[in-house]
Protein backbone atom coordinates (compact mmCIF):
# COMPACT_ATOMS: atom_id res chain seq x y z
CA UNK A 1 0.00 0.00 0.00
CA UNK A 2 1.46 3.36 -0.96
CA UNK A 3 0.56 6.93 -0.26
CA UNK A 4 0.48 9.54 -2.95
CA UNK A 5 2.95 12.40 -2.30
CA UNK A 6 2.00 15.97 -3.01
CA UNK A 7 -1.67 15.69 -2.12
CA UNK A 8 -3.64 18.68 -0.83
CA UNK A 9 -2.91 17.89 2.84
CA UNK A 10 0.75 16.95 2.45
CA UNK A 11 2.69 19.79 4.11
CA UNK A 12 6.00 18.10 3.40
CA UNK A 13 5.47 18.33 -0.34
CA UNK A 14 4.39 21.95 -0.37
CA UNK A 15 6.71 23.22 2.40
CA UNK A 16 5.91 24.88 5.71
CA UNK A 17 2.51 26.50 6.07
CA UNK A 18 2.48 30.15 5.08
CA UNK A 19 1.85 32.75 7.79
CA UNK A 20 -0.31 35.75 7.15
CA UNK A 21 1.19 39.21 7.63
CA UNK A 22 -0.82 39.85 10.81
CA UNK A 23 0.75 36.91 12.73
CA UNK A 24 3.72 37.79 14.94
CA UNK A 25 6.36 35.29 16.03
CA UNK A 26 6.69 34.41 19.71
CA UNK A 27 9.06 36.47 21.86
CA UNK A 28 12.53 34.97 21.76
CA UNK A 29 11.85 33.07 18.55
CA UNK A 30 14.61 33.67 16.04
CA UNK A 31 13.76 34.50 12.48
CA UNK A 32 16.23 34.69 9.66
CA UNK A 33 17.05 38.33 10.40
CA UNK A 34 16.55 38.36 14.19
CA UNK A 35 19.33 37.39 16.57
CA UNK A 36 18.13 35.70 19.77
CA UNK A 37 18.09 37.82 22.89
CA UNK A 38 19.54 35.19 25.26
CA UNK A 39 21.72 32.18 24.47
CA UNK A 40 22.96 29.30 26.63
CA UNK A 41 26.74 29.12 26.91
CA UNK A 42 29.19 26.72 28.56
CA UNK A 43 32.46 28.20 29.85
CA UNK A 44 35.57 26.37 31.00
CA UNK A 45 39.13 27.46 31.75
CA UNK A 46 41.44 27.07 28.78
CA UNK A 47 44.17 24.49 29.27
CA UNK A 48 47.76 25.31 28.49
CA UNK A 49 48.96 23.61 25.30
CA UNK A 50 51.23 20.63 25.86
CA UNK A 51 54.51 20.78 24.01
CA UNK A 52 55.56 17.61 22.17
CA UNK A 53 58.87 17.56 24.06
CA UNK A 54 57.28 17.73 27.49
CA UNK A 55 58.10 14.87 29.75
CA UNK A 56 55.28 12.96 31.30
CA UNK A 57 54.95 13.95 34.93
CA UNK A 58 55.50 11.32 37.59
CA UNK A 59 52.42 9.45 38.72
CA UNK A 60 50.54 11.34 41.42
CA UNK A 61 50.12 9.84 44.85
CA UNK A 62 46.83 7.93 45.03
CA UNK A 63 44.13 9.95 46.76
CA UNK A 64 40.72 9.03 48.07
CA UNK A 65 37.58 9.94 46.16
CA UNK A 66 36.63 12.41 48.87
CA UNK A 67 39.94 14.26 48.47
CA UNK A 68 39.57 14.38 44.69
CA UNK A 69 36.01 15.67 45.02
CA UNK A 70 37.01 18.35 47.55
CA UNK A 71 39.87 19.58 45.33
CA UNK A 72 37.46 19.72 42.36
CA UNK A 73 34.93 21.72 44.38
CA UNK A 74 37.65 24.16 45.48
CA UNK A 75 38.94 24.55 41.90
CA UNK A 76 35.41 25.13 40.62
CA UNK A 77 34.78 27.80 43.28
CA UNK A 78 38.02 29.60 42.32
CA UNK A 79 37.03 29.48 38.65
CA UNK A 80 33.55 30.85 39.45
CA UNK A 81 35.05 33.78 41.39
CA UNK A 82 37.58 34.59 38.68
CA UNK A 83 34.88 34.40 36.00
CA UNK A 84 32.60 36.77 37.92
CA UNK A 85 35.51 39.21 38.38
CA UNK A 86 36.19 38.98 34.61
CA UNK A 87 32.55 39.86 33.86
CA UNK A 88 32.67 42.83 36.26
CA UNK A 89 35.93 44.17 34.81
CA UNK A 90 34.47 44.18 31.31
CA UNK A 91 31.08 45.58 32.41
CA UNK A 92 29.23 42.55 31.06
CA UNK A 93 27.12 41.69 34.13
CA UNK A 94 24.10 43.43 32.60
CA UNK A 95 24.33 41.18 29.55
CA UNK A 96 24.25 38.00 31.67
CA UNK A 97 20.89 36.70 32.81
CA UNK A 98 22.08 33.78 34.96
CA UNK A 99 25.24 31.90 35.93
CA UNK A 100 25.25 28.39 37.36
CA UNK A 101 26.62 27.68 40.80
CA UNK A 102 30.08 26.10 41.05
CA UNK A 103 30.07 22.32 41.12
CA UNK A 104 32.81 19.73 41.23
CA UNK A 105 34.22 20.58 37.78
CA UNK A 106 35.53 23.98 36.66
CA UNK A 107 32.70 24.53 34.20
CA UNK A 108 29.88 27.07 34.25
CA UNK A 109 26.66 27.40 32.30
CA UNK A 110 25.25 30.83 31.69
CA UNK A 111 22.44 32.49 29.83
CA UNK A 112 23.70 35.67 28.23
CA UNK A 113 23.55 38.00 25.28
CA UNK A 114 25.47 36.94 22.16
CA UNK A 115 28.04 39.72 22.68
CA UNK A 116 29.21 38.01 25.90
CA UNK A 117 29.95 34.84 23.93
CA UNK A 118 31.97 36.90 21.44
CA UNK A 119 34.04 38.37 24.28
CA UNK A 120 34.54 34.94 25.87
CA UNK A 121 35.76 33.41 22.63
CA UNK A 122 38.35 36.17 22.27
CA UNK A 123 39.58 35.81 25.87
CA UNK A 124 42.72 33.67 26.14
CA UNK A 125 41.78 32.30 29.56
CA UNK A 126 38.42 30.71 28.60
CA UNK A 127 36.97 28.09 26.29
CA UNK A 128 33.35 28.93 25.53
CA UNK A 129 30.65 27.64 23.24
CA UNK A 130 26.90 27.57 22.82
CA UNK A 131 24.78 24.77 24.12
CA UNK A 132 22.99 24.59 20.75
CA UNK A 133 23.97 26.11 17.42
CA UNK A 134 22.60 29.63 17.13
CA UNK A 135 20.84 28.96 13.85
CA UNK A 136 18.68 26.28 15.51
CA UNK A 137 17.41 28.56 18.28
Domain containing residue 109: CATH number: 3.30.70
Residue 29 lies in a domain: no
Per-residue model confidence as pLDDT tens digits over 44-55:
999 877 677 777
Residue 100 lies in a domain: yes
The DSSP 8-state label assigned to residue 68 in this structure reads: H
Which of 103, 74, 99 minimizes the C-alpha distance to 85? 99
Residue 56 lies in a domain: no
Residue 136 lies in a domain: yes
Per-residue model confidence as pLDDT tens digits over 74-108:
999 999 999 999 999 999 999 999 999 999 999 99
Residue 103 lies in a domain: yes
Which residue range forms the structural domain that includes residue 132? 35-46+64-137
- pTM for the predicted model, two decimal places: 0.65
Number of compact structural domains in the chain? 1
d(CA 34, CA 17): 20
Amino acid sequence: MSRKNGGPGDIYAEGAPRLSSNVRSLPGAAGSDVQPEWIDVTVMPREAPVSPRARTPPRPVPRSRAEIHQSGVAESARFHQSFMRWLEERHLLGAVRSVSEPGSLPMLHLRCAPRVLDQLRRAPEFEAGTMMPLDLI
